[in-house]
Structure 1
Amino acid sequence: LDGDIDGARVEVARSDHGSAVLTDGLAEAGAYVHETVLYALTRPAGAGDSTELAAAGDLDAALFTSSLTVEHWLAAARERGIESAAREGLADATVGAIGPPTAETAADHGISVDVVPDDAGFEALARATIEDA
């Protein structure tokens, strides 16, 4: 969009944990960017069954759809006292990330990502991860 949006007013409506990649890129291209937070992302109580599957060696694939899902997954494993075993199980599974920012967060946390689809949508992520697995 560089060169096409200089001076444009852009509204970005999203969650409270959106990456700055989009808003910074739009601003750098010359747009006036306003962000509206529509919803908050929280981890439901009791979530994290996949951490137990990973710790037991029974997880074939994991799909991370945001940086926050990476952090929540690790927090759930930590709270269960199985973080080390869950990380080992995750290393044996196929790991997909919805886009480069999510893959970078995973890498920052020591998680190796096998799949990052060209299209940052869930269907593309699921299909690419299944194909790789």
Structure 2
Amino acid sequence: MSDAKGFDALTPYARSLGIELAEWEDDTPVLRVAFEEAVEGRPEHYHGGATGGLLETAGYAALRAELDRRGREAILKPINITVQYLSAGKSRTSFAKGRVTKLGRRSANLTVEAWQDDRSRPIATAVMNVLMAEPEG
């Protein structure tokens, strides 16, 4: 999904889950995913993989937005991602927003939170480390 700020970070996997841009907040994309069959695990609850996919996608979207602001291009390669599941995602829309904690020349560290009705009560968090390779060409 693209918009005026150049957001175009959704992978085919993210699109298959129904992840989309909800809004821009402080120049960072906030993503959302509606509760549908594609994200359901046990009845009326998000599958952990869908929650993890939302967190990962929001992290990459935040990093791409920051790189774009700085006029940098990079091929992003995951180093690791650690997800903490804090409570079960129920049958309603979930949101996620990433924050670049540290941006170096070759790697970045991000934190991401996912929530539903109340942002102060996250359903999951993640810490991501991403390698930023120079584009070939």
Structure having greater relative contact order (Cα 8 Å, sep ≥ 6): 2
Q: Greater strand share, 1 or 2? A: 2
Q: Greater helix share, 1 or 2? A: 1
TM-score where L is the length of structure 1: 0.23
Greater Rg, structure 1 or structure 2?
A: 1
TM-score where L is the length of structure 2: 0.22
